[in-house]
Structure 1
Amino acid sequence: MRKLILLLAMLTYIPASYAFDRAKLFDSFFSIVLVRGYNHDGSLAYGSGVIIAPNKVLTNCHVLRQTKEPWVSRGEDSYTITAIQADSWHDICLLTMENLPFKAVTLGNSNTLKKGQETISVGHSSGNPSPVTSVGIIKSIYPLDHGSVIRSTARFALGASGSGLFDGEGRLIGINTFKTIGRNAYFYAVPVEWISYIEKLPAEPPHSLEGPAFWEANDADKPFFLQVAAPELQEDWIKLQEVANNWVKAEPDNSEAWYELGLANEKLDKLVEAETAYRKSVAVNALNTDSLFRLGMLAAKKGDTKEMHTIQLALLEIDQDIAAEFSHEAGCAEQC
């Protein structure tokens, strides 16, 4: 009963401006569990997990590193893990239990997401026995290995690794996995599509897991979308320009790569080069609101009201909130 009251309270705290289906989200909350285990030094390791099928819990593999005899719990009830299917590089592990009496979540699709889409994160931060929620929006989507790694503003803290990232319909779209350091951290979730990989792996008895995840690799071996994160956060525009140049050479059809190059050039006051990069970004993906937004701001600097109006209309077709933000930043009234 206490759990029910807590979940109802969390639903109440979701801002009314977010278009979430609260009834469907309520079911999603009950798919979240705690994942625990004792480290070799006797300390307690903990994370979160999401029930994706009968007796199956999805979590991050790094939650289970150096642990022995891990288990899953909810409230005062614990469930022994009988088998693990592990993909350490993608940092997803599928745990098998017996007699887990909870309903599985509905799976979504990370490849159909768009920037600005509303999300909600649900997990057990810092080992808290009650799940914690955080709402946000999708900032970027990065295709990787037949899924899309998601960067959102739905925050999560220590202990929430393996928690769920849900869309407004309560569908699981990602597993919250890692974040950058600092106050203005970027938060990333790995895609649900990677479940198809892990389901094909052999089931093994519970054991300590080894091996780095893709996001823990040396900087030069990380995906480009992670290589640009640190210089962007640190406002190291020369470094960002260098990495983004390498990115567009390696992936000329990647809209995000061209956006990052445009941003670096704009911050370095190379406005012609910035505009060229932003336009290439939009040519690859006409729905890239970040690039459209920056093109509009460059037009505002030049006093090009015709271009500003064109950008505003394009943003209105995609996301009215982003269009309103652009109008405000560009100094327009209701219409540029």
Structure 2
Amino acid sequence: MNKLGVLFLLVATASYADDLPAPTDDFLYELKQSLVKVATTTKSGGHGFGTGVAISKDHVVTNCHVLTNANGISISKWGVEYAPLSLQADWKHDLCILKFEWADLKPVLMSDNDSLQYEQPVISISMPTDSPAPYVALSNIKALYPMDDAEVVRTEAAFSIGASGSPVFDYTGKLIGISTFKSPGRKAYYYNMPVKWIKTLLTQEPTELNALHDSPFWDAPEDKRPFFMRVVMPFQNNRWLDVQKVAMEWVVEQPQNAEAWYYLGTSFQHLGDLENAIKHYKKALLYNPIHPATKSALAMLAESHGDSAMPIQINAQTNDTEVKQAEVKGGGHEVLK
């Protein structure tokens, strides 16, 4: 990345780097105590595995897809297995809560996604199928996608088979999400379900394990998936007309979504329309003034065109007053062609 791009990313992450020391081994050890291994037996006699995390001394949250087609479920803690008494399920969001008796689990504290920020450092702890102990990965939040009154969290930390249901923590040790699915390909994006949906699920009535249910939103047909999923493969494979098509629909449906405007700007940039690229990047900064990918794109444009002041000028113009004016005028719905 060029020097200007690095500078903008450093500015975006400086507050976190300055205020939050790296987690200690003792701190991570305490977090690991709340993880359990989830095991299932299937109707065909097979076995499945996932990860879970205790959110009370009696409750474990994991992904519902870990439990799909199971006729037996258990968790293991220090080599001792426990069978659940009941199940609360949100199949659409792929979150299931299992209730136990006598397990005496060590619960984590749950945070609120409203406080999350781009480039915020996070802690992912998973228990892949082939891992004898929990695996820790330190990474950052790369994107936040508004959905159903919460935000799906994309992080850098990869997870593999058996890690579904793994917890993601902020640097204070509070649960912010559950690792759930990834995009296809070698450059996969990794998505985590927000803790806000877990809190909502706790208020719902128990259900039967094999009751009829919907598929998770990420497993829907391509044209029914969220825009943030539909845009990934065209973006990674340089199919800029397809990126533009998805992004144009996205900004109409979610006109205040910085991610949508960023992808629209990127499509115009790679199709050679720099004027509209900059206008759309500017719109992204209206709704997220610290959006790192947008700042980096503008910095690269500035360097390649010999105008190092351009990103700074654009960022300086994206203040609260302009955001409010854009909302009043319906500017968020404008798609420049």
Could you say whether these structures have the same fold, taking a TM-score greater than 0.5 normalized by the shorter chain as the test? yes
How has the CA–CA distance of structure 1 residues 223 and 18 changed in structure 2, closer, same or farther, with 3 Å as cutoff?
Answer: farther
Correspondent of 1:72 among 75, 78, 94: 75
Give yes or no for contact 1:120–1:166 (8 Å, CA) kept in 2.
yes
Q: Determine the C-alpha separation between the residues in 2 that align with 1:127 and 1:33.
A: 15
Residues 7-56 of structure 1, C-alpha deviations (whole Å, 9 max, x = no match) = xxxxxxxxxx9733554433221111111111111110110001001210
Letter in 2 for 1:67: A
Equivalence for 2:232: 229
Residues 128-161 of structure 1, C-alpha deviations (whole Å, 9 max, x = no match) = 3421122211110011112110111011101100
How has the CA–CA distance of structure 1 residues 205 and 219 changed in structure 2, closer, same or farther, with 3 Å as cutoff?
Answer: closer
Paired residue total: 298
Q: Does 1:187 align with 2:190?
A: yes
Give yes or no for contact 2:256–2:287 (8 Å, CA) kept in 1.
yes
Q: CA deviation at 1:311?
A: 7.5
Helix, strand or coil at the partner of 1:53: coil
Greater alpha carbon shift after TM alignment, 73-82 vs 207-216? 207-216
Letter in 1 for 2:197: W
Equivalence for 1:121: 124
Equivalence for 1:103: 106
Letter in 2 for 1:267: H
Residues 139-192 of structure 1, C-alpha deviations (whole Å, 9 max, x = no match) = 100111121101110111011000001111221110000001221110000000
Helix, strand or coil at the partner of 2:110: coil
Q: CA deviation at 1:286?
A: 1.1
Equivalence for 2:290: 287
Equivalence for 2:156: 153
How has the CA–CA distance of structure 1 residues 277 and 309 changed in structure 2, closer, same or farther, with 3 Å as cutoff?
Answer: closer
How has the CA–CA distance of structure 1 residues 30 and 157 changed in structure 2, closer, same or farther, with 3 Å as cutoff?
Answer: same
Greater alpha carbon shift after TM alignment, 76-85 vs 204-213? 204-213
How has the CA–CA distance of structure 1 residues 309 and 245 changed in structure 2, closer, same or farther, with 3 Å as cutoff?
Answer: closer
How has the CA–CA distance of structure 1 residues 247 and 204 changed in structure 2, closer, same or farther, with 3 Å as cutoff?
Answer: closer
Q: For structure 1, which runs of at least 5 residues remain unmatched after alignment?
A: 1-16, 315-336
Equivalence for 1:133: 136
Greater alpha carbon shift after TM alignment, 117-126 vs 176-185? 117-126
Equivalence for 1:274: 277
How has the CA–CA distance of structure 1 residues 308 and 223 changed in structure 2, closer, same or farther, with 3 Å as cutoff?
Answer: closer
Letter in 2 for 1:157: S
Letter in 2 for 1:196: K
Q: Does 1:28 align with 2:15?
A: no
Give yes or no for contact 2:282–2:315 (8 Å, CA) kept in 1.
no
Letter in 1 for 2:44: D
Q: Determine the C-alpha separation between the residues in 1 that align with 2:312 and 2:184.
A: 38
Q: Determine the C-alpha separation between the residues in 2 that align with 1:313 and 1:23.
A: 43
Letter in 2 for 1:218: P
Q: Determine the C-alpha separation between the residues in 2 that align with 1:92 and 1:156.
A: 17
Helix, strand or coil at the partner of 1:305: coil
Greater alpha carbon shift after TM alignment, 72-81 vs 83-92? 72-81
Residues 223-266 of structure 1, C-alpha deviations (whole Å, 9 max, x = no match) = 11111112112221111111001111111111110001111111
Equivalence for 2:268: 265
Q: Determine the C-alpha separation between the residues in 1 that align with 2:21 and 2:156.
A: 13
Helix, strand or coil at the partner of 2:103: coil
How has the CA–CA distance of structure 1 residues 313 and 21 changed in structure 2, closer, same or farther, with 3 Å as cutoff?
Answer: farther
Give yes or no for contact 2:152–2:192 (8 Å, CA) kept in 1.
yes
Helix, strand or coil at the partner of 2:23: coil
Equivalence for 2:300: 297
Residues 74-117 of structure 1, C-alpha deviations (whole Å, 9 max, x = no match) = 24110111100011001100100111122101112222111111
Q: Determine the C-alpha separation between the residues in 2 that align with 1:79 and 1:292.
A: 50
Equivalence for 2:246: 243
How has the CA–CA distance of structure 1 residues 38 and 90 changed in structure 2, closer, same or farther, with 3 Å as cutoff?
Answer: same
How has the CA–CA distance of structure 1 residues 148 and 216 changed in structure 2, closer, same or farther, with 3 Å as cutoff?
Answer: same
Q: Determine the C-alpha separation between the residues in 2 that align with 1:43 and 1:189.
A: 27
User: Aligned-residue CA RMSD in angstroms?
Assistant: 2.1
Equivalence for 2:178: 175
How has the CA–CA distance of structure 1 residues 39 and 209 changed in structure 2, closer, same or farther, with 3 Å as cutoff?
Answer: farther
Letter in 1 for 2:254: E
How has the CA–CA distance of structure 1 residues 246 and 206 changed in structure 2, closer, same or farther, with 3 Å as cutoff?
Answer: closer
Identity of aligned residues (%): 35
Q: Structure 2 matches for 1:50-69, cutoff 5 A?
A: 50-69=53-72
